[in-house]
Amino acid sequence: MSNSRDPHALARLVREGRRYWASPAGQALWRAERACLGPVCEELVGQHSLELGMAPVLSDICPIRHALGWAPNHEMADHVSTLVCLPDALPLPDDSLSLVLIHHLLEVIAEPHRTLQEAARVTADNGRLIIFGWCPLSAGGMSRVWPGRRRRMPWRGHWRTPGRLGDWLAFVDFEIERVDYCGFHLPGSLPRNTMLETLGRRHNLPLGDSYMIHARPRAQLAQSQRSRFELSRPLAGPALGSATRTGPQTQRNRKID
């Protein structure tokens, strides 16, 4: 795994991830995940969103006015609304985003629980946290036993089940609303078989290459006592790294062991 606190190692990791997502296999799965995300996006509204990942943006199909991307350095920033920072040190206020999407990042960074804590911190009480992860029981998961595969994308890192991530989410006061599976295919083929994808998603079989966790904050008894922040206008600039983190720490910032 890459050391998420080392900007150079993180940049190398993201470059490797982008090469995979630009490949035929990565593009086929990306399209399947985008189709899986579509119905969820129809229910989302809000002012600001953030996507953390290495693939082309998925969340641009969501009807949220201002979408932030992420990059580990300025050179890799794709557009002016790109947040340049470590994924576990987001320069954003508490409760400021209607949607945070983490795309296949928790498997490969060194301290994923810290990134999850940050994502939870900046998600608004009425917002949603969506996590895409690799399914260990899929054809791709089973093929990780082949020699040398775990040193390359996408098979490297720690693949965790939705149940395990559900435990992590509980520590940051989030709960899973739903888990959807996508990227269905036969061993040795790409996830582009329409019939397999339709059947797999219809019955939500835990055999797709990836899963999508749809989580929300748990109901807080003392919501009125929590400080709330709003971004009055879209952040601008090619880096957005000059933004500062403000606001008190909340219960979501507890350490996950």
Strand partners, 50: 68, 100
Q: What average pLDDT does this structure show over 97-120?
A: 96
Give all domains of the chain, ordered by start, each with its CATH number.
Answer: 47-86+99-217 (3.40.50.150)
- Residue 132: pLDDT band with limits 50, 70, 90: very high
| Residue 48 confidence (pLDDT) above 90 | yes
pLDDT, greater one: 6 or 174? 174
Q: What average pLDDT does this structure show over 17-36?
A: 94
Average pLDDT, the chain: 83
CA–chain centroid gap for 244, Å, is 22
Distance between CA 122 and CA 141 in Å, rounded?
31
- Residue 207: pLDDT band with limits 50, 70, 90: confident
The proportion of the chain whose per-residue pLDDT surpasses 90, expressed as a percent, equals: 55
Specify the pTM.
0.83
Question: Between the CA of residue 119 and those of 21, 91, 139, what are the distances in Å?
Answer: 23, 11, 29
Q: What average pLDDT does this structure show over 227-249?
A: 46
pLDDT of residue 68: 95
pLDDT of residue 151: 79
| Residue 165 confidence (pLDDT) above 50 | yes
- Residue 120: pLDDT band with limits 50, 70, 90: very high
| Residue 237 confidence (pLDDT) above 90 | no
Strands of the chain (E only): list them: 48-53, 66-71, 82-84, 97-103, 123-134, 174-182, 210-217
The set of residues, in sequence order, having a beta carbon less than 8 Å from that of 199 and lying 6+ positions away, is 184, 205
